């Protein structure tokens, strides 16, 4: 029996990387997916591809750092499908840099998206899930939220925060409201994320990571495993990393 089939799943950061792969995989397995990101063109292409394969998908262009946009996303999903069974907070930025180069603008971008974006998603969907008496909130963390490396400082801080948020949320809503709060933490994934790094001093630290990176589909399957649980089963935290990753 599949618990993915017919679930209404909202995914932020769904225009590329983990979000896109997860949306496609869940749709292939019978979920009704609501894709959200800033790039409307990319979202439309992904929805068209899912629909051409007989999947059910809609999209809403939005900015996860804007709390009104996030609330509008949840409202849109309920308008389309009458409910939200699962929210996957996947939108995120990984901008590694060295402390002494003080990329403060990039620090703020990561805090706004990785941290505030996750909080906005929880705030928007929680009242609805409380009312329906069940639901799943899956926060995408990172191995950097469990171990800190050179150049990872602020990024790791945001992902450690996501871990704390998820654990606290779990303690408050799982028993009381039957809402599952989970976190999936990927290691090095082949998503071309290094292209967004601007700090030349940190690029040397990243050069060897491509050699061990695994395909994003493995993270999508791990997230799908969490989604594919009945309401009385909670997968707390999952780390999925390359076998060859040393940290």
Q: Name 26's Cβ contacts closer than 8 Å, sequence gap at least 6.
A: 4, 7, 9, 11, 33, 220, 224, 227
Domains of the chain, residue spans:
8-240
pLDDT of residue 201: 57
CATH number of 8-240: 3.40.50.720
Q: For the chain, what is the largest distance between any 2 Cα atoms, rounded to a whole number of angstroms?
A: 53
- What single string gives the DSSP state of each residue in 13-55? STTSHHHHHHHHHHHHTT-EEEEEES-HHHHHHHHHHHHHTT-
* Contact predicate 30/54, CB 8 Å: no
Q: Are the beta carbons of 223 and 22 closer than 8 angstroms?
A: yes
Q: How far apart are CA 216 and CA 150, in angstroms?
A: 23
Spacing of C-alpha 57 from chain mean position: 17
User: What pLDDT does residue 98 have?
Assistant: 77
Q: How far apart are CA 238 and CA 147, in angstroms?
A: 14
* Candidate list 3, 76, 155, 177, residue with the active-site label: 155
Query: Which residues sit opposite 233 in a β-bridge?
Result: none
Q: What is the pLDDT of residue 216?
A: 93
pTM of the model: 0.94
pLDDT digits (tens, 9 = 90+) for 193-222: 566 666 565 666 665 666 787 899 999 999
Residue 177 designated active-site: no
- Residue by residue, DSSP assigns 148-161 as --TT-HHHHHHHHH
In contact, 32 and 57? CB cutoff 8 Å: yes
Structure tokens at 159: 């992902």
Cα–Cα distance, 194 to 139 (Å, whole number) = 22
Please tell me the predicted confidence (pLDDT) of residue 195.
64
The pLDDT, as a whole number, for residue 129 is 98
**Residue ranges, the chain, pLDDT below 50:** none
């Amino acid at each position: 029996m599949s618990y993915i089939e017919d679930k209404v799943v909202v995914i932020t950061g769904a225009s590329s990387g983990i979000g896109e792969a997860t949306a496609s995989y869940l749709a292939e397995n019978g979920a009704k997916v609501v894709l959200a990101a800033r790039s409307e063109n990319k979202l439309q292409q992904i929805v068209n591809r899912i629909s051409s394969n007989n999947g059910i998908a809609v999209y809403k262009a939005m900015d996860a750092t804007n709390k009104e946009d996030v609330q509008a996303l949840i409202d849109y999903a309920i308008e389309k499908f009458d409910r939200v069974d699962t929210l996957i907070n996947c939108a995120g930025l990984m901008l590694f840099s060295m402390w002494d180069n003080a990329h403060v603008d990039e620090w703020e971008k990561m805090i706004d998206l990785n941290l505030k974006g996750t909080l906005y998603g929880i705030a928007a969907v929680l009242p609805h899930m409380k009312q329906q008496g069940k639901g799943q909130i899956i926060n995408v963390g990172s191995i950097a939220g469990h171990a800190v490396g050179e150049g990872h400082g602020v990024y790791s801080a945001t992902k450690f925060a996501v871990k704390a948020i998820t654990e606290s949320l779990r303690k408050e809503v799982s028993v009381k409201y039957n809402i599952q709060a989970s976190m999936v933490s990927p290691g090095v994934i082949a998503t071309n994320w290094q292209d967004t790094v601007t700090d030349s001093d940190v690029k040397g630290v990243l050069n060897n990571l491509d050699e061990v990176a695994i395909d994003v589909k493995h993270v999508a399957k791990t997230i799908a495993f969490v989604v594919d649980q009945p309401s009385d089963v909670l997968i707390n935290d999952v780390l999925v990393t390359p076998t060859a990753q040393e940290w």
